[in-house]
A and B are shown apart, each in its own frame.
Chain A
Amino acid sequence: MALVEPNPNPSFLEKLQSIPKPVIYGILLVVSTIPLFFSVKLPNKPIDASIDFYAQTMKLPDGCKVILCSDWTNSTRGESKGEMEALLKLLMRKHIKFVLLSIGDTQAPQVAKDTIREVSASEVASGGTPYKEFEDYVNLGYYAAAEGTILAINNKVLSIAKGKKDFPEGAGPKDALLSPVFQGIKSVSDFNMFFLVTASGTNRTILERITKCPLMYMVSGVMVPENTSYYASGQLKGLCGGVKGVYDLETIMEAGINNPGPDLIESDKYKGESIPGWKGKTNKGKGTAYYLALHFTLALLILAVVIGNVGMFAAKRRAK
């Protein structure tokens, strides 16, 4: 490729392709931070994957049991925490009991436990019932051997809880298998759904090994393309990805699907069905809080790419 000789007297347009890094960093800092101070309800059209995620969760029978694999830590809390909070709100409102485990990171169980505590408190504040460890969910903690553990879940689910203790606060250690969550469970197919909230490669570990229970994933934005191929093939019943996915869920939680009203969200897939929302509850969360910042940051990214290209073309033109 021919190199363009640097011009000693560059024009304004040519200068656009060499903005100093500190300036770019400074603009990004300002643009991504200021919107966080404003709560603005932006228009949104939820994508099919998010609609499926909400619809399939809402179709779970009230009081049923699911598995929740939480493999995120605070490094991706901007996306993953919002996803986890939205999912927990739905599970708690439908009184769905869940088995909590982690295969991705040793910090993940504590981070998940803290989030459950926060969401439970916020649901209680808006008229819900508290979610208690051991009674409403059982925490199996972290498993170092991800592949073998997930295979064991599919093969013989109770074996992974054997000898495990749950540590509900102020109650002392208890045998995980004695939790009401495990009562009546013989096989993984007795769970109605396997949810995964992840920001790491555990998505494939689970997808390749869990065959007896439907799967739904909540992943970080960069993982969406990879997981879309599994959603498209029907291996995932629903997919929630990144801040956009969280905002989609929060939007649907407010309006429902095919539910007549001012904020109607239509879905051809669920034509003839009306899936209710949760109006009056605290549906807004991290998605609503961060979507404006995502808008501004994406706009800045697009602008940066355009400016860089304009500068490049200006320099090329002059060189000719």
Chain B
Amino acid sequence: MNLLAQVDPKTFWNATNGSSELFIKLALALIFGIALATGLMFAPPQLRKWVVRVVTFVSGLFYVLFWLFPAPISRQPNDAPRGTVEALSFFISDSQSVVASLTNVIAGFLIGLGIYSLLRVHLGKIAKQQKDWFFSAVLVISMFLMIFFGYGDYIQRQDPKNFVLADMKNWGWINYGRDLLFDGLLQNMDAGMFSVVAFYIMSAAYRAFRARSIEATILLVTALVVMLSLMGVVELMWSGMIDKISPDNPIVQSFKLSAVSSWLRSNVQTPAIRGIDFGVGIGLMAMGLRLWLSLEKTGGDS
């Protein structure tokens, strides 16, 4: 067992536990954070736009450099950089996990923001008894019930004395409450909502999947072959028939449902999807560039 596997090599982003270097870094980060937040609060709106643009550009630049700048190869934990290029390369590589943690923390704030926004909208609706306020009440009550029972159950289960909770016989009302709300209601409603799609697919296929043109007919036949190939019984019967006609002729054998559907997947579907993906990829790159350089104004500050 290599217990030293978790010991980090020294980088810009860490310091030894209890060392003065660690405390200096923490203090500097705190001062910088407070200064930045205060500065933003008092900054005029025009300046804020530029702050957002600069932060967006620097954030994007980091990942552009991460992908395009030469990455360190066969780097050992205690290797020192040789020259500026290698130093930058090491810095980018070491920083990525810190940037990832930062983005996770920022994304975590969204939960708080989401709860605040949800309560603001729905409590307002309830207070003013606006249209459908009853549904807002259901939403708010459900949220608080889920928090109450979920957290209560979690706290109980973490107690080392409560290992007996693995057995349902030892559950209390809070465990049953959480089970009813999460597993009994939420999870099943989730599955129920998604199952409804099957009805729409069936209805849409029946009404819209018609051989009105040559292209539609090709699509229809292809879909039927692929669907039939997913049915083991049909596949077996068809293969048996093909084997009876000519068990050794490779041309006849290639008309087995599995062979036809496999050919369709490899030679028609996959290239088509790759083509679409190329198009989507180029579009995403263009959109990414526009966002990175703050050229995209839709929904923004214009």
User: Which A residues fall within an 8 A CB radius of B?
Assistant: 1, 19, 21, 24-25, 28, 32, 42-45, 47-48, 73-78, 107, 110-111, 114, 117, 143-145, 148-149, 151-152, 155-156, 158-160, 162, 167, 169-173, 177, 180, 182-186, 225-226, 228-229, 232, 244, 247, 291, 294-295, 297-302, 304-305, 307-309, 312
A312–B5 CB distance below 8 A: no
Measured between beta carbons, the chain B residues less than 8 angstroms from A171 are: 160, 163
B206–A291 CB distance below 8 A: no
A28–B199 CB distance below 8 A: yes
Measured between beta carbons, the chain A residues less than 8 angstroms from B209 are: 305, 308-309
B228 and chain A: residue at smallest CB distance: A302
Q: How far is the CB of A123 from chain B (nearest CB, A)?
A: 16
B190–A305 CB distance below 8 A: no
18 contacts between A and B (CB under 8 A): A1-B212, A42-B232, A43-B232, A45-B236, A45-B239, A74-B187, A144-B108, A149-B100, A152-B100, A158-B8, A159-B97, A167-B158, A170-B166, A172-B158, A173-B158, A182-B6, A226-B273, A294-B230
Q: How far is the CB of A98 from chain B (nearest CB, A)?
A: 17
B273 and chain A: residue at smallest CB distance: A229
A229 and chain B: residue at smallest CB distance: B270
Contact mask B66-90 → A, CB, 8 Å, 1/0? 1000000000000000000000000
Q: How far is the CB of B40 from chain A (nearest CB, A)?
A: 22
In the complex, B142 has a CB within 8 A of chain A: no
Contact mask B180-222 → A, CB, 8 Å, 1/0? 0011001110110111001101110111011110000000100
Measured between beta carbons, the chain A residues less than 8 angstroms from B110 are: 144
Q: How far is the CB of B256 from chain A (nearest CB, A)?
A: 9
In the complex, B269 has a CB within 8 A of chain A: yes
Expressed in whole angstroms, the Cα–Cα distance for A293 and B127 within the complex equals: 48
A308–B6 CB distance below 8 A: no
In the complex with contacts A155-B93, A159-B100, A301-B160 CB distance below 8 A: no
A169–B273 CB distance below 8 A: no
B104–A45 CB distance below 8 A: no
B104–A298 CB distance below 8 A: no
A301–B202 CB distance below 8 A: yes
Expressed in whole angstroms, the Cα–Cα distance for A171 and B206 within the complex equals: 55
Expressed in whole angstroms, the Cα–Cα distance for A312 and B202 within the complex equals: 17
User: Which B residues fall within an 8 A CB radius of A?
Assistant: 1-3, 5-6, 8, 66, 93-94, 96-101, 103-104, 106-108, 110, 154, 157-166, 182-183, 186-188, 190-191, 193-195, 198-199, 201-203, 205-207, 209-212, 220, 223-224, 227-228, 230-233, 235-236, 239, 258, 262, 265-266, 269-270, 273-274, 277
In the complex with contacts A32-B198, A309-B210, A169-B233 CB distance below 8 A: no
Expressed in whole angstroms, the Cα–Cα distance for A312 and B207 within the complex equals: 10
B188–A74 CB distance below 8 A: yes
A19–B206 CB distance below 8 A: yes
Expressed in whole angstroms, the Cα–Cα distance for A259 and B205 within the complex equals: 41
Q: A144-B110, A225-B270 are in contact. List 10 more A-B contacts (CB 8 A).
A: A144-B107, A151-B100, A167-B157, A170-B163, A229-B270, A229-B273, A295-B233, A298-B230, A302-B227, A309-B211
Measured between beta carbons, the chain B residues less than 8 angstroms from A291 are: 232
Measured between beta carbons, the chain B residues less than 8 angstroms from A232 are: 266, 270
Expressed in whole angstroms, the Cα–Cα distance for A19 and B198 within the complex equals: 17
Measured between beta carbons, the chain A residues less than 8 angstroms from B193 are: 75
Q: Which of A28, A107, A158, A294 contacts B6 (CB 8 A)?
A: A158
B163–A145 CB distance below 8 A: no
Q: How far is the CB of A46 from chain B (nearest CB, A)?
A: 10
Measured between beta carbons, the chain A residues less than 8 angstroms from B265 are: 225, 228
Measured between beta carbons, the chain B residues less than 8 angstroms from A44 are: 232
B262–A47 CB distance below 8 A: yes
Q: How far is the CB of B274 from chain A (nearest CB, A)?
A: 6
Expressed in whole angstroms, the Cα–Cα distance for A160 and B188 within the complex equals: 32
In the complex with contacts A47-B258, A158-B5, A308-B209, A28-B198 CB distance below 8 A: yes
B3 and chain A: residue at smallest CB distance: A183
A43–B205 CB distance below 8 A: no
A21–B203 CB distance below 8 A: yes
Expressed in whole angstroms, the Cα–Cα distance for A274 and B233 within the complex equals: 26
Measured between beta carbons, the chain B residues less than 8 angstroms from A47 are: 258, 262
A81 and chain B: residue at smallest CB distance: B191
Measured between beta carbons, the chain B residues less than 8 angstroms from A301 are: 201-202, 205, 227
Expressed in whole angstroms, the Cα–Cα distance for A108 and B157 within the complex equals: 19
B187–A111 CB distance below 8 A: yes
In the complex with contacts A44-B232, A298-B227, A304-B107 CB distance below 8 A: no
B188 and chain A: residue at smallest CB distance: A74
A184–B2 CB distance below 8 A: yes
Expressed in whole angstroms, the Cα–Cα distance for A301 and B207 within the complex equals: 11
A155 and chain B: residue at smallest CB distance: B96
Q: How far is the CB of A142 from chain B (nearest CB, A)?
A: 10
Measured between beta carbons, the chain A residues less than 8 angstroms from B236 are: 43, 45
Measured between beta carbons, the chain B residues less than 8 angstroms from A117 are: 166
A75–B100 CB distance below 8 A: no
A225–B187 CB distance below 8 A: no
Expressed in whole angstroms, the Cα–Cα distance for A8 and B246 within the complex equals: 51
Measured between beta carbons, the chain A residues less than 8 angstroms from B258 are: 45, 47
A45–B232 CB distance below 8 A: yes
A225–B273 CB distance below 8 A: yes
